[in-house]
């Protein structure tokens, strides 16, 4: 393991807002999508990253960042950043700009795995305790239903850090038809990882497209429109948009601390086999030796099928834990390693 390197494990923040975003005829308006690019740049300046590519559709806008991704819906923002970014510093400006649009914060969710290089992280990410203190200081007091927890595993280098807060008591929380799947993969197959190094000094959108096709990422969800980007000298990010759902992949391919993440959204009305097949395709792209999967608001049927789906890829489930959180509902966390490992 390298003494120091690029931190692949992302920090993820999801904020939900409420307010009147309909016009006089009851037509849905843009809400948070009315935030101009200058405002988003101010938010990202606080985080210490920039936009490198963007795409949108009638449902949401998706931005590939210099360190991961940003998704903006009318009443929801998801921002996910890696490296030594200061993600939580986005909370004050996001709340400020949303308030200017007549929107108020309803729920806040923060998740991350274990950092590979924790001592390289800046404030407020020096520890989970420090992160929780910072969030609680910067969200409104009326988000009074709060919980922070570290979900453990049998792998000492893998645990799942979760903080949620909401202004609604659990029994009055809205029903969510969608669920989120977050996958973290380490020790990528070396031959596959080499495909995410730039060739002939090519970077940007065109090189990103080459990596997408060369690795088979474009087959994970053939119906999605992909916005991809390749970094110099290595690294890759992509956002997929498919109707009102997003997917995203980020790759740090350096040997010794190789990492890839995959995140997508499913619906409780879908055939569970569909999301499981997508997961299997994503993991197969990278053939990692270690995988962790977190699901939020997901049914037992789905996460049990996920565990079985990875067995043919040579991965064995080593631990499973689940917990209940305000606003997020049930979160499950599973870890897998190569079956030949004890």
Does a structural domain hold residue 194? yes
Residue 1, pLDDT > 50, answer: no
pLDDT higher than threshold 70 for residue 27: no
Q: Which position has the higher pLDDT, 309 or 148? A: 148
Q: Is 7 annotated as a binding residue?
A: no
Instruction: Share the mean pLDDT of the chain.
Output: 91
Q: How many angstroms separate the CA atoms of 243 and 250, rounded?
A: 21
Most confident residue range from 87-96, 254-263, 309-318: 87-96
Per the structure, the count of domains in the chain is 1
Q: Is 231 annotated as a binding residue?
A: yes
Q: Select which of 16, 69, 82, 159 is catalytic.
A: 82
The pLDDT of residue 217 is: 97
Query: Residue 38: which pLDDT band, with cuts at 50, 70 and 90?
Result: very high
Scan for tokens 């000298």, then name that residue: 233
Using pLDDT thresholds of 50, 70 and 90, give the confidence band for residue 47.
very high
CB atoms within 10 A of CB 101: 19
Q: Report whether 35 contacts 101 (CB < 8 A).
A: yes
Q: Mean pLDDT over residues 35-61, rounded?
A: 96
Which is nearest to 283 in space by CA: 160, 188, 154, 157? 188
- Taking the CB of residue 315, how many other CB atoms lie within 10 A of it? 23
Q: What percent of the chain has pLDDT over 90?
A: 76
Question: Measured between alpha carbons, how far is 18 from 45 in angstroms, rounded to an integer?
Answer: 25
pLDDT tens across 81-113, in order? 999 999 999 999 999 999 999 999 999 999 999
User: Can you tell me the mean pLDDT for 157-172?
Assistant: 85
Q: Is 250 a catalytic residue?
A: yes
Does 254 carry a binding-site annotation?
Answer: yes
- Give me the catalytic one of 237, 247, 261, 292: 237
In the predicted structure, residue 2 carries a pLDDT above the cut 50? no
Is 158 considered catalytic here? no
Phi/psi for 242 (5° steps) reads -140, 95
| The two three-digit tokens of residue 160, written as one number | 């799942």
How many CA atoms, within 13 angstroms, populate the side-chain half-sphere of residue 312?
Answer: 9
Residue 271 confidence (pLDDT): 85
Counting residues of the chain whose pLDDT is more than 70, the rounded percentage is: 94
Q: Torsions phi, psi of 136, nearest 5?
A: -65, -30
From the candidates 16, 125, 161, 250, give the one annotated as an active-site residue: 250
Closest listed residue to residue 154, CA positions, set 333, 304, 339: 333
According to the model, what pLDDT value does residue 174 have?
Answer: 58
- Asked whether residue 283 is domain-assigned, the answer is yes
Which has the higher per-residue pLDDT, 328 or 25? 328
In this structure, what DSSP letter does residue 172 have? G
Q: Which two tokens stand for residue 105?
A: 């914060």
Distance CA 114, CA 97 (A): 31
CATH number for the domain that contains residue 315:
3.60.90.10
Answer yes or no: is 1 within a domain: no
Q: Which residue is catalytic, options 68, 198, 247, 332?
A: 68
Check: CB of residue 65 under 8 Å from CB of residue 78. Answer: no
Residues in the chain: 342
Q: Is 213 annotated as a binding residue?
A: no
Residue labelled with tokens 């510093």: 89
> Exposed/middle/buried for 271, CB within 10 Å: 0-12, 13-18, 19+?
exposed
For residue 18, is pLDDT > 60?
yes
**168 falls within a domain:** yes
Measure the CA–CA gap between 99 and 79, rounded to whole angstroms: 18
* 280 within a domain of the structure (yes/no): yes
| Domain enclosing residue 296, as ranges | 11-338
Residue 305 has pLDDT above 50, yes or no: yes
Three-state SS for 219?
helix
Q: Look at residue 5 and tell me if it is in a domain.
A: no
Helix H or strand E encompassing 163: strand 160-166
Tokens 């948009």 belong to 241
What SS3 class is residue 222?
A: coil
Pairing of strands 245-252, 236-242: antiparallel
Confidence of residue 24 (pLDDT cuts 50, 70, 90): low
Across 143-158, average pLDDT: 92
Query: What confidence score (pLDDT) does residue 8 get?
Result: 76
Q: Quick check: is 105 in a domain?
A: yes
For residue 4, tell me if it sits in a domain. no
CA distance 256 to 236: 17
């Amino acid at each position: 393991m390298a003494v120091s390197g690029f931190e692949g494990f992302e920090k993820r923040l999801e904020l939900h807002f409420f307010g009147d975003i309909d016009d006089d005829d009851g037509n849905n308006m843009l809400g948070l999508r009315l935030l101009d690019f200058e405002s988003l740049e101010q938010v990202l300046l606080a985080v210490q990253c920039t936009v490198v590519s963007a795409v949108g559709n009638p449902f949401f806008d998706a931005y590939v960042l210099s360190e991961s991704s940003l998704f903006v819906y009318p009443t929801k923002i998801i921002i996910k950043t890696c490296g030594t970014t200061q993600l939580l510093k986005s909370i004050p400006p996001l709340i400020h700009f949303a308030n200017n649009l007549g929107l108020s914060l309803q729920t806040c969710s923060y998740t991350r795995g274990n950092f590979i290089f924790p001592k390289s992280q800046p404030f407020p990410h020096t520890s989970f305790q420090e992160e929780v203190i910072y969030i609680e200081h910067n969200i409104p007091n009326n988000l009074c239903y709060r919980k922070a927890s570290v979900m453990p595993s049998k792998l000492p280098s893998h645990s799942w850090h979760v903080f949620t807060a909401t202004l609604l008591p659990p029994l009055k929380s809205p029903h969510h038809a969608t669920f989120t799947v977050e996958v973290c993969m380490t020790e990528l197959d070396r031959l596959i990882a080499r495909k995410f190094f730039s060739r002939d000094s090519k970077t940007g959108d065109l090189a990103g497209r080459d990596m997408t096709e060369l690795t088979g990422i474009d087959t994970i969800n053939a119906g999605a429109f992909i916005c991809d980007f390749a970094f110099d000298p290595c690294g890759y990010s992509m956002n997929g948009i498919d109707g009102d759902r997003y997917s995203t992949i980020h790759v740090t391919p350096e040997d010794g601390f190789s990492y890839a993440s995959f995140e997508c959204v499913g619906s409780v009305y879908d055939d569970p086999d569909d999301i499981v097949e997508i997961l299997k395709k994503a993991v197969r792209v990278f053939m990692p030796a270690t995988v962790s999967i977190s699901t939020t608001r997901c049914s037992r049927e789905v996460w049990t099928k996920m565990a079985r789906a990875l067995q043919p890829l040579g991965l064995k489930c080593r631990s499973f834990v689940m917990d209940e959180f305000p606003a997020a509902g049930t979160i499950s966390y599973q870890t897998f390693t190569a079956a030949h490992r004890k």
